[in-house]
Amino acid sequence: MSPDGGEMKAAGLEALSAVQKTLNGLVAKVGGAKRKLRKRKSRKQRKSMQGGKRRRKSRRGRKSRKSRKSHKKKSRSRK
């Protein structure tokens, strides 16, 4: 029974290598598309890109939370 098993194993390995070969060929053809799907931006990133100049201007004018809060901390420490 062992020779049959060996033949089956060899046939299985041949079939596997053939399948892998064709699969690699297909993956090479659609490689770029797969990469794009994998690196898809999140909803937040996509929405933030739509703001344009208006959004950038309003964000530039607003100070960070830390700088807005700093004067309150100073006044509290003087007491």
pLDDT band at 44 (very low <50, low <70, confident <90, very high): confident
- HEC per residue, 26-79: HHHHCHHHHHHHHCCCCHHHHHHHCCHHHHHHHHHHCCCHHHHHHHHHHHHHHC
Instruction: Please give the average per-residue pLDDT across 1-14, as a whole number.
Output: 80
pLDDT band at 79 (very low <50, low <70, confident <90, very high): low
So what's the pLDDT on residue 16?
Answer: 92
Tens digit of pLDDT for each residue in 16-40?
999 999 988 887 777 666 666 667 7
**Which secondary-structure segment (H or E) carries 1?**
none
The pTM of the full predicted model, rounded to 2 decimals, is: 0.32
Residue 29, CA atoms < 13 Å, CB-side half-sphere:
5
Average pLDDT, the chain: 71
